[in-house]
Amino acid sequence: MKSVAVREVCKQWNKVLDEHAGSEVPITSHGEIVAFLRVLPRIKGHKVKLPDFAGRIQARFGKRTLSPEDVRWLDQAMQVRY
């Protein structure tokens, strides 16, 4: 089982994923195993479907918008340091 250094994972993430697709890879730091990375197999043409964030926001809050006064109030409230 070929291991991969933490530095290589950080700098060449896509390369590591492509080389080790469908396997489990030990991640090493200073020659010692610190973690295992399970890489799922790549499926060509398969895209991850993201949730409908705009739809979720609208379902929760409706079509409400902030008035200019509300925006000013929020700006002032965010400037207060605790």
> Is residue 75 assigned to a domain?
no
Residues of the chain with pLDDT under 70: 1, 81-82
Domain count along the chain: 1
Nearest residue to 1 via CA among 43, 36, 42, 41:
36
Q: Which residue range forms the structural domain that includes residue 32?
A: 4-38
> Is residue 80 assigned to a domain?
no
DSSP E strand boundaries for the chain: 4-5, 24-29, 32-38
Answer for the pair 4, 37: CB distance below 8 angstroms, yes or no.
yes
pLDDT of residue 1: 67
> Is residue 64 assigned to a domain?
no
pLDDT of residue 47: 75
pLDDT of residue 82: 58
> Is residue 10 assigned to a domain?
yes
- Model pTM above 0.85: no
Cα separation, 28 vs 17, in Å, equals 16
